[in-house]
Structure 1
């Protein structure tokens, strides 16, 4: 089952004014916070990348892979969408624990800022 646009709107609404966006990818959606890839939305389910900090904050959350062969992600229950403080705390912990994006290289092998 594919994710509905209504569900992606619900996810974005749960994060309110945060710099969170979704991007269509492979029939589902990637979730980005300040241009850092933090999770996916698959089959009307929000899945955040597993980090030690996020796992410690919410050890009760189930984990599942968004697709066969993928690493497990934290499954965020829809019931938590209305708890802005909890949603923001988990997102902040996840975002901070993930590495920064590496600059893309151009065809010459240089980064755009070299």
Structure 2
């Protein structure tokens, strides 16, 4: 089962970040970005958040789950979806605790030629 666009819209509305919270569709599921950082995943119409000590301080006793087969454990965010201020705080502190994304390396001429079809 893949995640519905309406679920993503609901998460975005509840979180209250407006255009700062973005998403990207991946294999029928979604990665959620806040300030350019992947903070979690929406899989099977469930929200999974990257675990951080700051997030644990907000959640207390997080419930672990796996967003997809082979994934590292994430926190399953269920009841928090019905508490917009808590969800907002949780996503904000998670984004703050995560490192900035690494800049993508510029393609060199050699790399560009290697990826062109022959």
Gaps of 5+ in 2: 110-118
**What does residue 101 of structure 1 align with?**
101
Choose between structure 1 and 2: higher helix proportion.
2
Residue 112 of structure 2 corresponds to none
Structure 1 unaligned residues grouped into runs of 5+: 110-114
SS of alignment partner, residue 12 of structure 1: helix
Deviation (angstroms), 1:56: 2.4
Cα contact 2:80–2:87 (8 A) shared by 1: yes
Helix, strand or coil at the partner of 1:53: helix
Moved more, 100-109 or 23-32: 100-109
Contact 2:17 2:88 in 1 (8 A): no
- 1:7 match: 7
Task: Tell me if structure 1 keeps the 8 A contact 2:66–2:74.
Answer: yes
Q: Which residue of 2 aligns with 1:112?
A: none
1:52 CA displacement: 1.3
1:73 corresponds in structure 2 to 74
Query: How far 1:84 moved relative to its partner?
Result: 2.0
Q: Which runs of 4+ in 1 moved over 6 A?
A: none
TM-score normalized by the length of structure 1: 0.86
Single out whichever of 100-109 and 33-42 deviates more from structure 2: 100-109
Aligned residues between the structures: 108
Map 1:1-114 to 2 at 5 A.
Answer: 1-18=1-18, 19-77=20-78, 79-108=79-108
Which one has more relative contact order, counting CA pairs under 8 Å at least 6 apart?
2
